[in-house]
Amino acid sequence: MVQAKSNPRYEYLMGIVSNLPDCPGVYRYLDAEGTIIYVGKAKNLKRRVSSYFTKEHESRRTAMLVRQIYDLKYIVVNTENDALNLENRMIKAHQPKYNVLLKDGKTYPWICVRNEAFPRVFLTRTVVKDGSDYFGPYTNLTVAKTMIELFEQLYHVRTCSLNLQQAMIDKGYKVCLKYHIGKCLGPCVGAVSRETYQEGIDEIKQILRGHTAELCRKLYDLMLERSAEMKFEEAQKIKDRYDRIEGYRVRSNIVPSVISDVEVFAYDEEETSAIVSYFHIVQGAIIRSYTIEYRKQIDEPKEDVLALGIEELLERFRDDEDSSADENPLAKTVELIVPFEPSMVPDGYSVHIPQRGDKRKLLELAEKNCRQYRIDQIKQSEKLNPEQRQMRLMTEIQKQLGLPKLPRHIESFDNSNISGSDAVASCVVFKNAKPEKKEYRKFNIQSVSGPDDYASMHEVVMRRYRRVVEEHQEVPDLILADGGVGQMGVIRQALSDLEGSFLQQHIRGEISADRMHEIHELLQIPVGGLVKDGHHRTRQMLFGDPPNAVDVKVGSNLFHLLERIQDEVHRFAITFHRQKRSKSQVHSELDDIKGIGPKTKQDLLREFKSVKRIREASADELAAVVGVAKAKILADYFDVSREKS
């Protein structure tokens, strides 16, 4: 952006940009007066909008636009095609000053079925309220032209602009070439009745509303017919049309043209808040969208909150409604599209709760924006207060597992060995949902021989929490095993055995009754398990006795936290195991001789090449390399070794 990054306006805009979703949508830039100055579409809202503020623009006009941006708003949609349609309609509704490329009337085409005695079907870029039916807009001109061509071939609709009122037909017209070659039914000379012609028009309307199955069937039959007649070139052309129309989708998922003058309200709620999202539709275009949030003081019914939101939003924009209202003095009822029946409905409005169809899709779009608003609020609050995200995750874990207190301190264990050799274990510590690396601990397995993961886990847990208790360290609020039911059982058993060990000390009089009671309370640590799938990825969480799967949504923030804990403890254990194995692979007998350090060891091996030759060397040969004193240490060590053997 041209302005310095310390500019408060820049910081405000970048705060919004940082929370934009990575999905299709339409964005609007507003100037200092709140006027929309630019409407744009994006396949990826965050990437597209951020490009305006994170680089210098060669275009002087673009740079001028950026300097005038004081606010931005957006609407998320389902597909890029939806974004194209919505952008086009918003530009027509608001006429932003910087949308120069779409101000010359070259907009997306519609298919018009003209309101006439013998309707024509043609492409147009101008929608006129004359009773005609308009379908689109079409972002793919080729598809629209293909449809017109197919209608002319299948239904032989007229393409002329003659006035075909009955009186004019009676006066007599001269038929054109298309009638003679069989591409027009000849309504201009009364060769087809209005009823028969209208049947074809009705079918065309059904196809344009998305009912393409009948069209595809007719094309397929026609293709077979031409093939049977040995007219293979014609059959191939029909096949090409058939293949193209199979992928055709005519109805817009934004605002179908048949929907006009409605208000759409979506609703979303959590325990302490409710969100109402609003779309205002006029003549088939979204001309206004707005979202408000209510903080619930008590457990108000959702019907009451939705009614309050409807009244608030309608009242807020009532002046605009009145100024643009139809001058017809007869009041008309406006339709409210809502997800459920509100407790109150304003006068002059009727409620519709769609279950399917175009209006249901429109409501789902409003609901999607409603959910996105909540996501934006969470991201913004977490940005202002980074600890809030951690608090929310810990609260979610506490709620999911039914823990007695917030799991601020979580520890997780994992083992690592190769066929029992160089066996180690690790413990990682997460505090406030973040790794506390200075408190990580490594363990060399001491009492277990062979590859016994359960016995190794038992030893490590006993050692870890004996020291925690004896040194009065902080006890975790939750232990997570990097494994399933088996490891969870071992950890519980280790905690029980540790308590039994302290109980023996109490019986011997080494621990007081009060201290024993305190130790008992400390060791009642909840234990969970993290289960991996066949690809070693976190799959689910187990908790309880007996353990049950906890419903954690894959991809959620909580799932990613658990995944990170499991990955971290596994990484830490593997790293420690590799370090130990690396040391054991370069260990030699010289490392066991007291008084012989790494430098002396290096000098000896450089000279004699192996420990065997060092052992066989004379005192004088050794003294020549490391001196008399160290030569004597080596000679004494090897003499003792030979005596033992």
Residue 381: per-residue pLDDT: 65
Which residue ranges in the chain fall short of pLDDT 70? Answer: 1-6, 81, 88, 99-108, 136-140, 210-215, 241, 244-260, 282-287, 296-299, 317-332, 381-386, 417-422, 449-451, 533-538, 555, 577, 580-589, 591-592, 640-645
**pLDDT at residue 640 in the model:** 66
For the residues of 341-395, what is the DSSP string, one character each? --S---TTEEEE---SHHHHHHHHHHHHHHHHHHHHHHHHHHHH-THHHHHHHHH
Written as one string, the DSSP assignment of 232-292 is HHHHHHHHHHHHHHHT---S-SS--TT--SEEEEEEEE-SSEEEEEEEEEETTEEEEEEEE
Cα(256)–Cα(285) distance, integer angstroms: 9
Start-to-end CA distance of the chain, whole Å, equals 81
Round to whole Å and give the CA distance between 360 and 162: 41
Q: Which residues pair with 541 in a beta bridge?
A: 530, 550
The answer to whether the CB of 425 falls within 8 A of the CB of 443 is: yes
Q: How far apart are CA 379 and CA 370, in angstroms?
A: 15
Please tell me what DSSP assigns to residue 415.
E
**Cβ proximity of 413 and 426 under 8 Å:** yes
| Structure token pair of residue 356 | 């399917």
Reported pTM? 0.45
Of 381, 378, 369, the C-alpha closest to 24 is: 369
Tell me the C-alpha to C-alpha distance, in Å, between residue 583 and each of 420, 563, 576: 16, 30, 11
pLDDT at site 630: 84
Rounding to the nearest 10 degrees, give the CA dihedral for residues 551, 556, 557, 560: 80
**How far is the C-alpha of 364 from the C-alpha of 360, rounded, in Å?**
6
C-alpha span between 412 and 427 (Å, rounded) = 6
Residue type, 112: C
Return d(Cα 325, Cα 194) in angstroms, integer: 37
Whether the Cβ atoms of residue 185 and residue 178 lie closer than 8 Å to each other:
no
Residues forming a β-bridge with 36: 30
Q: What is the pLDDT of residue 133?
A: 87
Of 534, 566, 538, 565, the C-alpha closest to 554 is 538
Predicted local confidence at residue 409, as pLDDT:
92
User: Is the sign of the CA dihedral 250, 251, 252, 256 positive or negative?
Assistant: positive
* Model pLDDT for residues 574-610, shown as the tens digit of each residue: 877 677 655 554 456 676 677 787 788 778 878 887 7
Q: What is the DSSP string of 551-580?
A: ---TTSHHHHHHHHHHHHHHHHHHHHHHHH
* Domains detected in the chain: 8-102 (3.40.1440.10), 110-212 (no CATH), 262-380 (no CATH), 402-583 (3.30.420.340), 589-644 (1.10.150.20)
For 270, 384, 434, the CA distances from 388, given in Å and listed in that order, are: 17, 9, 13
